[in-house]
Amino acid sequence: MPRARLADVARRAGVSTATVSLVLRDRPGPSQATRSAVHEAAGALGYRADRSASALARKRSHLLGVVLDVSHPFHATMVDALDGAVAGTGLDLVLSTTTSRRDERAAVDTLVDSRCAGVLLLGTTLGDDALDTLAADAPLVVVGRPGARLARGVRADDAHGLRLVVDHLTRLGHTRIAYADGGRGAISTARRQGYRAAMRDHGLAPAAAVVRAGDTEAGGLVAGAALAAEPPGTRPTAVVAFNDRCALGVRDVMVRAGLAVPTDLSVVGYDDSPLARLETVRLTSVSQDPEALARASIASMTALLDGTTGVEDVVVEPRLVVRDSTAAPRG
């Protein structure tokens, strides 16, 4: 049996399609009696509105496009949080992932073609100009980096996050603290600069060492190998990684090389992902408060959609979660 249409419900309830449409979307107008008749008819027919038709008829859809990298644990966490944050707003999430063959631009295009009301970018590597170009096509909110001229940004304060980490490590007695860098991208840059600034403030600028890594375990392995090769006397006693996955790569290669964590080397991650919380991992990490980020993102987006002017970037304070991968340096 083909799906019931609005007209079917209308016929069964003995009213017009206009009335049914009004009732089902809870618009003022129809009387109580009509409302219940319509609801009953719709229920009996198992009616569900056709989104394409709705989207076409109103100018704006209630779809919120989210561009993410499905292979990224933090993105998964954010999607979960976003799902909670849109509940009750009337907005619906639609996901579009980047893959090895699809870049962010392509992912956004897909969403824009389905006439999403707005687009949310998670962990973008795009620059300001590219963002502005995209923002021309749809209201745009970027998570994890500052907004651009046309795009609003929602992010955790990375500089503050790295300060928390460096504070924690120096308090433990570390001075040779290295940073495993995440590569290109605004997020990576912000963290790297935060690290540098924090080291400088502690008078440790000369000891600051940025090691190339990346945003995955594989990148951590590279950085870890480089560090493990250094002689014990000059080797850093602590390493801060761009994110948890990277930190785990570093940790793994260190353990393999016979160095104990945290005794010989303290390791700190970023994101406080489920991985970091595992009983056997217990990685010290910076939590970006995904719930707060999600709430702020949705708030910015609805403001943008409502045409509220002067929407500003939101910065959420991160929090250091100390676990077992950091300790005072040996000796």
Partner DNA sequence: GGCTATCCTTAAAGCGCTTTAAGGCAGTCT
Partner DNA sequence: AGACTGCCTTAAAGCGCTTTAAGGATAGCC
Considering only 45-53, 140-148, 206-214, 236-244, which stretch makes contact with its own copies by CB under 8 A? 45-53
Contact pick of 24, 45, 172, 299 for DNA (by CB under 7 A): 24
The residue among 221 and 304 lying less far from its own copies, judged by its C-beta, is 221
* Residue 229 interacts with its own copies (CB under 8 A): yes or no: no
Considering only 56-64, 188-196, 257-265, 291-299, which stretch makes contact with DNA by CB under 7 A? 56-64
* Residue 274 interacts with DNA (CB under 7 A): yes or no: no
* Residue 97 interacts with its own copies (CB under 8 A): yes or no: yes
- Please count the other Cβ atoms lying within 10 Å of the Cβ belonging to residue 203: 10
* Residue 274 interacts with its own copies (CB under 8 A): yes or no: yes
Considering only 28-36, 118-126, 228-236, 263-271, which stretch makes contact with DNA by CB under 7 A? 28-36
Structure-token match 């219940």, residue found: 36
Q: Is 319 helix (H, G, I), strand (E, B) or coil?
A: strand
Question: In degrees rounded to 5, what are phi and psi of residue 95?
Answer: -100, 145
User: Cβ 315 to its own copies, closest distance in Å?
Assistant: 25
DSSP track, 145-214: S---SSSEEEEE-HHHHHHHHHHHHHHHT---EEEEE--SSHHHHHHHHHHHHHHHHTT-GGG-EEEE--
Which element (helix H / strand E) includes 250?
A: helix 244-256
Beta bridge partners of 287: 319
The residue among 49 and 94 lying less far from DNA, judged by its C-beta, is 49
Residues in region 124-183 near DNA by CB under 7 A: none
Beta bridge partners of 118: 64
Cα distance between residue 222 and residue 204, in whole Å: 24
Cα distance between residue 300 and residue 316, in whole Å: 13
What residues have CB less than 8 Å from 250, skipping those under 6 apart?
Answer: 180, 213, 220, 221, 223, 224, 227, 239, 241, 267
* Residue 201 interacts with DNA (CB under 7 A): yes or no: no
* Residue 184 interacts with DNA (CB under 7 A): yes or no: no
Cα distance between residue 187 and residue 250, in whole Å: 20
Contact pick of 99, 193, 263, 308 for its own copies (by CB under 8 A): 99
User: Cβ 8 to DNA, closest distance in Å?
Assistant: 7
What residues have CB less than 8 Å from 179, skipping those under 6 apart?
Answer: 191, 192, 195, 208, 209, 210, 211, 239, 240, 241, 242
* Residue 129 interacts with its own copies (CB under 8 A): yes or no: no
The residue among 115 and 197 lying less far from its own copies, judged by its C-beta, is 115
User: Cβ 258 to its own copies, closest distance in Å?
Assistant: 12
What residues line the site for DNA (CB under 7 A)? 5-7, 14-19, 21-22, 24-25, 27, 29-31, 33-34, 47, 49-50, 53-54, 56-59
What residues line the site for its own copies (CB under 8 A)? 3, 48-53, 55-56, 61, 68, 70-71, 73, 75-77, 79-80, 83-84, 87, 92, 94-97, 99-102, 109-110, 112-115, 137, 216-218, 221, 249, 252-253, 255-256, 274-275, 278-281
